[in-house]
Chains A and B, each alone.
Chain A
């Protein structure tokens, strides 16, 4: 696992956007080879989307050969409701870029058969060749997508009844009326995200510091579903300084010492495995032989 600690929230946005940019560029998607992205909603990734739009407008990236799968959506919330994730994705990202709507997949919370909708979603991910990079955020209770505490770490895309805590936390988006908050959602499972080739999780703010601690300093536990990604071969967590407040000094220092290596990940000609220039290596070996 990699933990990238950024000085500010803005830098978390920039870092993550640059990483997406780099991964897509290196992948060189074309009509026969689509890059498949898993996407989150919410406040944390907003800055990343803004940056990606900026890069698109500057001609640095095209989304023509990209397929997207979103993590979740409320059940029985009108699609054009400002709190629906369809609305969020269209207005904060899709309408600003050149993605083909045929390549966009968001769970339909108004589908007549919700179970079937979820199964179809899993099938479509498989059909697309699996997700290359799944981007996520977490809640203060460590949930990823709508996989709230106690969700199976092997869970798949399904209908999820939301916890009282979640309803209360979301009431502010629905005119402070808890009765207006959707009580169910469709969500990818922890297992669905685990299947992605790479997972990038954005965590910002002191209110998520405890969740970050649970995610990386303690064991895998279904009460903090994000901790499951300790067992994923390629997990990247991007956080700001505030989110590290509950971590040990040792942990923070350890990852900060790796920051130069991490920075290579987003450099245009960067390589994830730094090597010394060849002649240095040769000189050393010659010296040894004498």
Chain B
């Protein structure tokens, strides 16, 4: 494939594309890394494409966006401190095989030194053949509830004793952070949320014992997301539905959509619970993998943050215990599992991994969609939603079979 110039015009044909909530029998046109309007080019510029790519009836979806991923392929972002840049590179590259074109490397509760060392090294950067786009770091903790610590090490969990100062002291720099997961019931959490909002950092509530009104207050102060719904929060109770109740709360501004991450790996969330979430609040559903170092690896013992973890029967446990500590599922699997479990449409399943996370991050004008002028990050899928190839800024960065016939 020749290296295209900025004016190089590509037409992908023999395909269906996901656009405006529909699967359309349309061609996709790309130039200079962006999706372009072929009708406008036809009449204004009167030019033909430089290259036509036969997609052989593939379905083209926006590339998948994973807002919560702790590592993979033996790499653990929270633990491999000295080699974190290489680690992020490795994961970013390998994620392309799963159709993921953007992700938020996620750090679990860690000591302050870890944040000080690691955060400056995980810079936001554009994707390409080197790997998926890094949207920013998701810091999950340490401002969480000890009771709902999950796989987070208790000794590093903190409160906001000094308000926002506690947070800046802990992370040292906020520059590379795009998401903070915190427990809203911690004293001073609401003022911290307001401060983070001013800095354009998204707030997710989770690892929490918050009741519904704590959750509603957090949302009113600017929280927009719930971290891995059902996991590490109070179970749904009919007199106090807890954070789960945010999905149907009437006490939050009506124009505001609450997004929630959900791990549709078939293990962390029961299919019935997936259905409950999907049916009550489909437009807020965001598929996340919460994958750990064991993603892409065989059974065995690995390192996650401060713990040894063990992968057996396709599940990841804290070694020697029955505590689940993150998934080993990849995103395209989650999309397929979610669709099967809920019986939702292909559009809904794909949007939960594309449009919804992009909206949650307010980047849906350029990512998570195949609209004109959006970035040409996309994935070609077969009928069973298996990944055939992955494209970033209009360039092929992964292909399963190398079977794209190029016609000039």
Contacts and interface: CB of A to CB of B under 8 A. Distances in A.
B195 interface: no
Interface residues of A, number: 13
Contacts of A94: 42
A101 interface: yes
B43 A102 contact: no
Interface in A9-23: none
A233 B287 CA distance: 68
B48 interface: yes
Given A100-B48, A101-B48, A95 B42 contact: yes
Tell which of A101, A102, A104 has the most Cβ of chain B within 10 Å.
A101
A271 interface: no
B326 interface: no
Interface in A59-103: 79-80, 86-87, 90-91, 94-95, 100-102
A198 B93 CA distance: 61
A100 B46 CA distance: 7
Contacts of A90: 39, 42-43
A80 B41 CA distance: 12
B244 to A, nearest CB: 43
Contact of A95 (B39, B46, B47): B39
Contacts, number: 28
Interface string B27-43: 10000000000111111
> Mostly helix, strand, loop or mixed at chain B's interface?
helix
A79 B42 CA distance: 12
A102 B38 CA distance: 14
Contacts of B42: 90, 94-95, 101, 104
A102 B39 contact: no
Interface residues of B, number: 11
B72 to A, nearest CB: 41
B46 A101 contact: yes
Given A100-B48, A101-B48, A95 B38 contact: yes
Contacts of B27: 95
Contacts of B45: 101
Interface of A: 79-80, 86-87, 90-91, 94-95, 100-102, 104, 106
Given A101-B47, A104-B46, 4 more contacts: A79-B43, A80-B40, A90-B42, A102-B46
Interface in B4-50: 27, 38-43, 45-48
A87 B39 CA distance: 8
Nearest to B40: A80
11 contacts: A79-B43, A80-B40, A86-B43, A87-B39, A90-B43, A95-B27, A95-B42, A100-B48, A101-B45, A101-B47, A101-B48
Contacts of B39: 80, 86-87, 90-91, 95
Interface string B107-121: 000000000000000
Contacts of A87: 39
A79 B41 CA distance: 12
Interface in B63-122: none
Contacts of A100: 46, 48
Contacts of B40: 80
Closest 7 CB pairs of A and B: A101-B46, A101-B42, A102-B46, A90-B39, A90-B42, A86-B43, A100-B48
A91 B45 CA distance: 17
B19 to A, nearest CB: 14
A91 B43 CA distance: 12
Contacts of A106: 43
A74 to B, nearest CB: 15
Contacts of A91: 39
A236 B213 CA distance: 76
Nearest to B48: A100
A94 B27 CA distance: 13
A123 to B, nearest CB: 18
A100 B40 CA distance: 14
A91 B47 CA distance: 17
A102 B46 CA distance: 5
B64 to A, nearest CB: 28
